[in-house]
Structure formats: structure tokens, C-alpha cells
Amino acid sequence: MYRYKIYVLKQRPGGSERMQGSETTTWYPDVARAAFWAAYHDSRFQSREFLLLLTSNHKQIAAYRFTSQPGERDYVAPDKELNL
């Protein structure tokens, strides 16, 4: 069974901090997908300093840097299917 974590990091010089209220932990893939897309569209995080992460058992599944563009390392298309 897989444990999924979804959370947003605010990156700054010297480190990063997990944004309070942005974390979801679940055993259910559908809940993980819903949490990822909810954070993806959350207006509080729409600047480059924020990074959205989806992990499964401590392995990165998806990373999205807000305001990134296609071709950039941490880009996830809004219609991408998350295979969990």
C-alpha cells in the first residue's frame, strides 16, 4: 500500500519551509490527485517561490513550480494524468 503526501514549499535563500495548511497525507490515490490539483490551482501559491510536491513512500512522483512553463524542469501540465 502506498502513502501519498502532497504539500507546498516556499523556497528562499538558506532553505525552504512547508506552507502551513498545504499538506495532505493519504493512502488513497484519488484523494492524492484531488489534493494535488486543488493546491495547483490555489491562488495563494501562484508565484515562482512556491513548489508543489507529490510523493509516494518518500519518492517524488510530481513536482510543479508555480508559474513554470512547458519544457522547464518542474513543470506539470494542467491536463496531465497523474498515474498513482
Give me the pLDDT at residue 1, please. 83
Q: If the chain, 84 residues long, is cut into consecutive pieces of 10 residues, what is the mean pLDDT of each piece?
A: 96 92 96 98 95 96 96 95 93
Quick one: which of 16, 33, 13 has its CA closest to 84?
33
Give me the pLDDT at residue 28, please. 97
**Cα-based distances in Å from 11 to 21, 29, 33, 51:** 16, 27, 23, 7
Give me the pLDDT at residue 37, please. 98
pTM above 0.85, yes or no: yes
What sign does the dihedral 56-8-51-39 (CA atoms) show? Answer: positive
CA distance 48 to 79: 20
